[in-house]
Amino acid sequence: MTAKIIDGRTIAASLRDEIAARTARLSYRPVLVVVLVGQNPASSIYVRNKGRAAAAAGIDSRTLALPESTTEAELIAIVEGLNADPAVDGILVQLPLPPDVRNSAVIEAIDPAKDVDGFHPLNVGRLVDGLPSLAPCTPRGVMKLLDAAAIPISGARAVVLGRSAIVGKPMASLLLGADATVTIAHSRTRNLDAECRRADILVAAVGRPELVRRDWIAPGATVIDVGINRLPNGQLAGDVAFAECAEVAGAITPVPGGVGPMTIACLLENTLEAAAARRAR
């Protein structure tokens, strides 16, 4: 068997077009503020890409670049200022933050109605409860890929590899909300390969290049690779050994060009939805 390739670039482009059409009908431009602390090169590239995609979708994206020396109290004061600014619809504090700044303290300072990353505990709780919420962009993007590829989720056995707050846990909540039978596997899981082989849908979000091998995949399973790993030769690799797993899977996402483009598109959609919900109040 050769897997169907789930083309995230095309699916993300059509989502961005749909968002652009929706923003064109508004009487205002949604405003996203990205707060960037320090000079992390990966963050800077990511923030620049976000800015370009936002502009093309009719969203006004502003970057607040702060020095590495910014303290937690200063950062929280800045976030509170953005919370109070009626012109701002979405606030994204780019992680990682400097070592002396607690992520949790900063995330908890964001107005949950403007929390377009979906990391605030109120949004996390609403997601777990199955209530409408701003859901984290990467797992939200995975759900859209599954939908676009017409993968049945209800009743399916889903295995999420990785339990981070950014990807693994919200991914499991979204799959459970769509009626999958969900297992979360992680670094302490025994017989990881056997757990993965039980999956109708396998989502890998580990950060280990090509950890998932051909014999971890059930014939015909759907394999979603969230991993983005930079190899010593400079190339990108996912968490899944793509070529060999594509010989067994029913459908699979490539890296790059799978989940990655969906994350930014979903950030734009979260910003649009945050704007619409807040401005309707």
Residue count, binding to ligand NAD (CB under 6 A) = 23
Estimate to the nearest angstrom the gap between the alpha carbon of 83 and the chain centroid. 23
Stretch near ligand NAD under the rule CB under 6 A, chosen from 29-37, 80-88, 259-267, 271-279: 259-267
Stretch near ligand NAD under the rule CB under 6 A, chosen from 16-24, 85-93, 101-109, 224-232: 224-232
Nearer to ligand NAD, 239 or 273 (CB): 239
**Who contacts 96 (Cβ-Cβ below 8 Å, separation ≥6)?**
40, 43, 103
User: Residue 214, interface with ligand NAD (CB under 6 A)?
Assistant: no
Nearer to ligand NAD, 256 or 276 (CB): 256
Nearer to ligand NAD, 177 or 207 (CB): 207
User: Residue 187, interface with ligand NAD (CB under 6 A)?
Assistant: yes
User: Residue 278, interface with ligand NAD (CB under 6 A)?
Assistant: no
CA 240, CA 237: separation in Å to the nearest integer? Answer: 8
HSE-CB at 21 with a 13 A cutoff on CA atoms is 6
Q: Of 167, 183, 153, nearest to 238 (Cα)?
A: 167
Using alpha carbons, list the distances in angstroms from residue 241 to 163, 211, 214.
20, 7, 7
Where is 225: in which H helix or E strand?
Answer: strand 222-225
Among 166, 172, 175, 182, binds ligand NAD (CB under 6 A): 166
User: Residue 221, interface with ligand NAD (CB under 6 A)?
Assistant: no
Contact criterion met (CB below 8 Å) for 92 and 59: no
User: Residue 138, interface with ligand NAD (CB under 6 A)?
Assistant: yes
- β-partners of residue 151 are none
* Residue 117 annotated to the active site: yes
User: Residue 229, interface with ligand NAD (CB under 6 A)?
Assistant: yes
User: Residue 250, interface with ligand NAD (CB under 6 A)?
Assistant: no
Estimate to the nearest angstrom the gap between the alpha carbon of 241 and the chain centroid. 21
Estimate to the nearest angstrom the gap between the alpha carbon of 197 and the chain centroid. 24
| Residue type at 185 in one-letter notation | A
The DSSP result for 250-265, as a single string, is SEE--SSSSHHHHHHH
User: Residue 164, interface with ligand NAD (CB under 6 A)?
Assistant: yes
User: Which of 60, 94, 144, 169 is an active site residue?
Assistant: 94
Among 101, 259, 272, 274, binds ligand NAD (CB under 6 A): 259
Using alpha carbons, list the distances in angstroms from residue 266 to 50, 119, 219, 224.
11, 14, 30, 16
User: Residue 50, interface with ligand NAD (CB under 6 A)?
Assistant: no
* Residue 39 annotated to the active site: no
Stretch near ligand NAD under the rule CB under 6 A, chosen from 15-23, 61-69, 149-157, 225-233: 225-233
Q: Which residues are catalytic?
A: 50, 94, 117
Please give the residue ranges that form the binding site for ligand NAD (CB under 6 A): 138, 161-164, 166-168, 186-187, 192, 205-208, 211, 226-229, 259-260, 263
